[in-house]
Amino acid sequence: MKAIAYYLSLPFIYFFSYLPFPVLYVLSDILVFPLLYYVTGYRRKVVFTNLQNSFPDKSEKELREIEKKFYRYLADLFMETVKFFTISESELKRRYVFRNPEIADQWYEEGRNIVYTLGHYGNYEWMALALDFAIKHRGKGPFREMSNPYFNQLFWRSRARFGTELYPTYKTMEAIRKPSEEPYLVALANDQSAPPDKSYWTTFLNQDTSFFVGTEKIARTFNMPVLFAAISRIKRGYYEINFKVITHTPQEEPEGDIMEKHARLLENQILNQPEYWLWSHRRWKHKKPEGLDKGFSFKKR
């Protein structure tokens, strides 16, 4: 059945992927947005609850405006993800611009690997494609495997087609330890719900929030500088990425400081333009362990 689903879907995926952007955005407006927002009501309860808890001072009218903007953008993101399979390098360079790559490039010249952290904000999917030609470092990134092996291979090939090296999420440390002929960059999206007893806890968007600790663990273990990638949507289909330095010297930072800086940078980005964050994720399904104010929910070795 999985093979049948894949081979039946593939012609439609590539048909829509080869359509020009203006046509895709028309389809986003007249088909995808109404389907998500009005017809299926895709996770609307989750989205609105997340918005209410994150912005308690906003009126229901203001929250509904953000909600609607989010779904309009989610429809655009869906169509841009379809384009992901066929977009050319030249087109992506024009639409996904890194404004200060020299910040990362200085560490390439020093022979240092770096950690690059971001959230599910703006078009984070194009990041895997753009990394390898945007900066000098070789791109590496975890890949969350899918239940359908055919779609798994399709997305794997598509994300790696410009040179980014992918590895299964559970092999992250193994992939980082593997010898490399040139300096590399590890890209980590860190804003999903982390296990309550194996995470870093802080206040984020007015709520107790757990974060995966991989960013700080990797940076400290391998002495890798950490950058935050701030993605800005300029207009439909056009984005800018600005690097913000979290730390040059991770092993000298106070414990938890790298995680806290990541949380604050992402939070500020969301507060400025909330409609571009992935509000449909069940971000706050875990409760903070009793007796913990802020910090790691486990004993560090």
Going by pLDDT thresholds of 50, 70 and 90, the confidence category of residue 84 is very high
With 0.85 as the threshold, say if the pTM is over it. Answer: yes
* Parent domain of 91: 2-296
Residue 301 forms part of a structural domain: no
**% of the chain at pLDDT higher than 90:** 82
143 inside domain: yes
Mean pLDDT of 117-136: 92
In a domain? residue 66: yes
Q: How confident is the model at residue 76 (pLDDT cuts 50, 70, 90)?
A: very high
Q: How many domains does the chain have?
A: 1
Residue 112 lies in a domain: yes
Distance CA(228)–CA(269), nearest Å, equals: 11
Number of C-beta neighbours around residue 235 at 10 A: 7
How far, CA to CA in Å, does 77 sit from each of 10, 32, 149, 287?
19, 10, 24, 30
Is residue 217 predicted with pLDDT exceeding 80?
yes
CB 193 within 8 A of CB 210: yes
Whole-number Cα distances in Å, 173 to 1, 113, 137: 34, 14, 18
Beta strands (DSSP E) in 34-100 are 96-98
Domain membership of residue 42 (yes or no) is yes
How many residues are recorded in the chain?
301
Kindly state whether residue 142 falls inside one of the protein's structural domains: yes
- Is the pLDDT score of 270 beyond 80? yes
Tell me, what's the pLDDT at 164? 87
pLDDT of residue 214: 93
Query: What's the mean pLDDT in 83-95?
Result: 95
pLDDT band at 141 (very low <50, low <70, confident <90, very high): confident
- Does 115 reside within a domain? yes
pLDDT given for residue 77 in this prediction:
98
Q: CB–CB of 212/194 below 8 Å? A: yes
E-assigned strands of 134-265? Answer: 138-143, 165-168, 184-189, 200-204, 207-211, 226-235, 238-247
Per-residue pLDDT of 275-285, as tens digits, reads 999 999 999 99
Answer whether residue 277 is part of any domain: yes
For the chain, what percent of residues have pLDDT higher than 70? 99
Contact between 83 and 120 (Cβ < 8 Å) = no
> 149 φ, ψ to 5°?
-65, -25
Judging by beta carbons within 10 Å of its beta carbon (0-12, 13-18, 19+), is residue 97 exposed, middle or buried?
middle
- Mean pLDDT for all residues in the chain: 94
pLDDT at residue 158 is higher than 60: yes
Residue 131: the pLDDT is 84
Whether residue 292 has pLDDT greater than 90: no
Lowest-confidence region among 190-204, 228-242, 256-270, 284-298: 284-298
Say if residue 301's pLDDT is above 60.
no
Q: Which of 281, 298, 288, 283 is nearest to 42 (CA)?
A: 281
Each residue of 21-32: pLDDT tens digit?
999 999 999 999
pLDDT band at 48 (very low <50, low <70, confident <90, very high): very high
